[in-house]
Each structure stands twice: as C-alpha cells, then as structure tokens.
Amino acid sequence: MKIRFFVLLSLLISLVPTAPSLAAGDRFALVIGNAKYPDADAPLKEPINDARAVADELKRDGFSVELGENLTGDAMRRAFDKLYGKIKPGSVALVFFSGFGIQSARQSYLLPVDAQIWTESDVRRDGFSLETVLGELNTRGAGVKIALIDASRRNPFERRFRSFSAGLTPVIAPNGTLVMYSAALASVVSDAGGDRSLFVQELLKEIRVPDLMAEETLNRTKMGVTRASRGEQVPWISSSLAEDFSFIPGAGGSRPATPPPPPPPAPPAAPAVVANNPPPADPAPAPSTDGGPSAAALADDPTIKSLTAKIAANPDDVNALYRRGQVYASKGAYSLAIKDFDDTLRINSKDVEALNNRCWTRTVVGDLQGALKDCNEALRLRPNFVDALDSRGLVNLKSGAVKNAIADFDAALKINPRLTSSLYGRGLAKQRNGSAQEGALDIANAKAMDPNIVQEFASYGVR
C-alpha cells in the first residue's frame, strides 16, 4: 500500500526553504546505487532498486536528478563534478548513496565498484570522502546540503586491516547541512535480501507525507526503522540547517491525521414560510462524491495550491498530478485523488506507483473490482512489487477472498518481513479463515511494531 502512510504517518528531499528566495528549479540530486563489487561474495541486492526508487521520488518533487548505477571511480568523479557544476548560490544539493562505505582517519568514504583496497591509504585514494563532497557543495554556494547514506554494511575491505572501526563515522559538515546514515555510528547492518532496504522503505514512506519539515521527516524515518527492526537498526542524523525545509514544496509544518469518517447527512429542514425571503447566502463548497472535502474546500492548502498552479500551467504535468492525488488522498478526498491518478495514468499508463495508489484509494472507497484490476496491472508490469502485493492483499481481505489475501500478504512478507500492514492484514485474514491462533500471533506482532496499525486498518473500513 503506497498511500497508507498518508493516513497515519502520509522526496527525497524537494527541500525548499520557507523563504521564497529559492527557485523551484534550483534543486539538484545525485543518486548512486553501487551493487557489483568484485571483492564481495555476491552483488548486493538492494542498492540498485533503492537508488531507482529514490530517484523516481525526487523527480516527482521537481529535483533535477542524475542516477548512477555501479559506478567506477572515474564515473563517480565525473558524476560529482557534474553535480558541482550545476550548483548556484542558494541551491539545494542532495546526495543519496547506497553501497559500501568505510571509515578511515575519522572520515567516511563512499566506495566505487572498482575500488582496490588493501590498506587504509587505499581508502583515501579510491574512496570519496563525504566531508569533501559536502565541503565542495558548500564552496559552490549550495544553501542546503543533504546527504542520505545507506552504506553501513560489513564489507570485505574492512577485514583486510589489522585494526578497523566498522560502519561510518561522524561527519564534520558546513552550516546548512542535513546528514542521515542508515545505521548508528560505527555499526553495520546486513542486506535483508528484499527489493529495498528497510531504511529506504521507511524513508520513502515518510518523504511522501505532505506538510512535514525535512528534519521531522528524517526523525520519523529513524523512528520507523528503529521500531520495525526492534532496535537492531537505529539510523544516525546530524543537522546544522539554519531554516526549516520541506521535502514537498509549499508544505506547512504539521503531520496530517487520519481523516475522520464523514458525518451522516443532516435531514433537510422544513421550509419556513416567511413574508420576505432574504437573499440566498453563498453556497458552501460541495463535498466530493465520496463524502470527503471538495476541491474548493482544499484550495487554500499550500501544497495543493502550489500543485494546482503547476497543473494549470501544464495540464500534463504528470508529477504534479500524481503528487496532488497523494495529498488529496491524505486529506480524505478520495474521489479527487482517483481523478488525479486517472489523469496520471492517461499520460503514462505504465506508471506502477500511480496504479498501486489508485488501487489502494479505490479499495478504501469500496470499488474493489476496479482496485483489483489496478493492482493486477501494477504486478504485471512489476512482478513482486511489494507495495502492490500489500494493496492487493487489502483488496482481497475487504472482498472476502481471504485465501487470496493470505497469499498476497505472504508474498509481501517474504520480500519484507517487517511490513506491518501485511502482517496485520494476514492476521485478520487468517482469523477469518479459521486459524484464530495463528492470526492472533500475526496481529500481536504487527501491533508490537506499530501500535497505530489497528487505527490504520479501521480507516480503510477493515476491523
């Protein structure tokens, strides 16, 4: 389920300052996924998918994104130089790296796939110092520097040193910098073997929540990773941001709550007989067809207002349509969200994220046949797409096809064993299928990882 994070919790960092000095186009990102290191026993499974998912999200928020996969040292150097060359005074510059990292001489180094490392001096020769990268971005005039580093992995290079410190080390960064490591200082985590790392799953979930400031988004990511791993993985954050920035342009500052169910319509009042009827008052904004708020009622929301302006200027702005659909869904305006996802898919019928989000939204409003069609198409285009498996499990659960729901949730949990929505959904499906004890265990485990999961499913109409 891709939009479920909106109703409880809701790129990478479309960070725009609250002050209007930063132009919307002055956001640049370099996203690197390095997986094929010859010295490793096998290619890493997560970095490429993680990098692609992060790059897609950043593009949706208006970043100019360069994506690099399995970069050699020369290719990484060219990629960083290209990023440096784009920076203008006041720009936002973001670096995402997934692969192997290593600390040496109290600095953290990002490693290209062709690094030849046998001594610590080789680290400084072949690796890329994170402090140096951030310092260069600052020198070029970047107002906001962001580094999201998923490189706290045990790697074969470290074992070659007689003495070494595992993981990454604190970064000494210039003012206006926000840095996040996927794990605590000097600690390592292993790839889970799924499509994406736990860190990136939680990061993407929180980045898509409208109306959050960047630091809050990363803090919520940290809490999500810590909770889902039961304390085994605790990300590290360092910030010297002087101003608030938001991942979503035009965001306010508070996290949206679960939209309450619409109140029942009041009975019509009996007509009053008066001698002189007063002029009629201006009509209140009509609700959307699903009972949620109307477009007029949400028009002044800063995020929606900004996205609507983009769509007015370019009706085929697929990123703005998709993003506004997500925000509408977070506000409970499901019919408006579906319309935006319809338009997104009109422009690009193979947008699996939009298909999955429309599947989820249709499920919430009860269009289970349309939802199932969307999820099936998303999974045809991207087999083993964990979010679509999770969404289709909810469709089957709501429609009473509990065996199919269990199969979908099983498949999602095989990819991501800590996916609480699939764990809780499977528990409900098992109970409805007659396996009360097994279902209760799944439900208890899901509630232990996410105490809000019961409220989340209630908002979907599932109890």
Q: What is the pLDDT of residue 452?
A: 80
Helix or strand or coil: residue 219?
Answer: helix
pLDDT tens digits in sequence order for the chain, 463 residues long: 655 444 433 433 333 333 333 444 589 999 999 999 887 777 888 999 999 999 999 898 888 999 999 999 999 999 999 999 999 998 999 999 999 998 887 889 999 999 887 777 888 889 999 999 999 999 999 999 999 999 988 776 765 554 455 678 888 888 899 999 999 887 888 765 567 899 999 999 888 877 788 888 899 999 988 888 888 899 999 998 877 787 776 544 333 334 444 444 444 444 333 334 443 443 343 344 556 788 888 888 877 888 899 899 999 988 889 888 888 887 888 999 999 999 999 999 999 889 999 999 999 999 999 999 999 999 999 988 888 999 999 999 999 999 999 999 999 888 877 788 899 999 999 999 999 999 999 999 888 877 788 888 988 888 8
Do residues 72 and 115 make contact, with C-beta atoms less than 8 angstroms apart?
no
Residue 272, CA distances (Å) to 10, 266, 277, 279, 386 in order? 45, 17, 9, 14, 58
pLDDT at 461: 85
67: enclosing H helix or E strand: strand 64-69
The Cβ-side half-sphere exposure at 244, using a 13 Å CA radius, reads: 14
For the whole model, what pTM was predicted?
0.64
DSSP secondary-structure letter at 262?
A: P
Beta bridge partners of 104: 107
The secondary structure element, H or E, covering residue 59 is helix 47-60
- Which pLDDT score, from 0 to 100, does residue 286 have? 39
pLDDT for 407 equals 96
CATH no. for 4-246: 3.40.50.1460
CA atoms of 105 and 353, how far apart (whole Å): 42
Closest Cα to residue 347, out of 382, 370, 320?
320
**CA-closest candidate to residue 154, choices 103, 217, 216:** 103
d(CA 46, CA 35): 8
Q: Would you kindly state where each structural domain of the chain is located, as residue ranges?
A: 4-246, 299-459
Judged by DSSP in three states, 97 sits in strand
CATH of 299-459, one of 1.10.1660.10, 1.20.1560.10, 1.25.40.10, 1.10.10.10: 1.25.40.10
* CA–CA distances in Å: residue 37 to residues 40, 41, 42, 111, 112: 5, 9, 8, 9, 8
> Is the CB of residue 33 less than 8 Å from the CB of residue 68?
yes
Dihedral-angle region of residue 68 (phi above 0 means left; psi in -120 to 50 means alpha; beta otherwise): beta
DSSP-derived secondary structure letter, 247: S
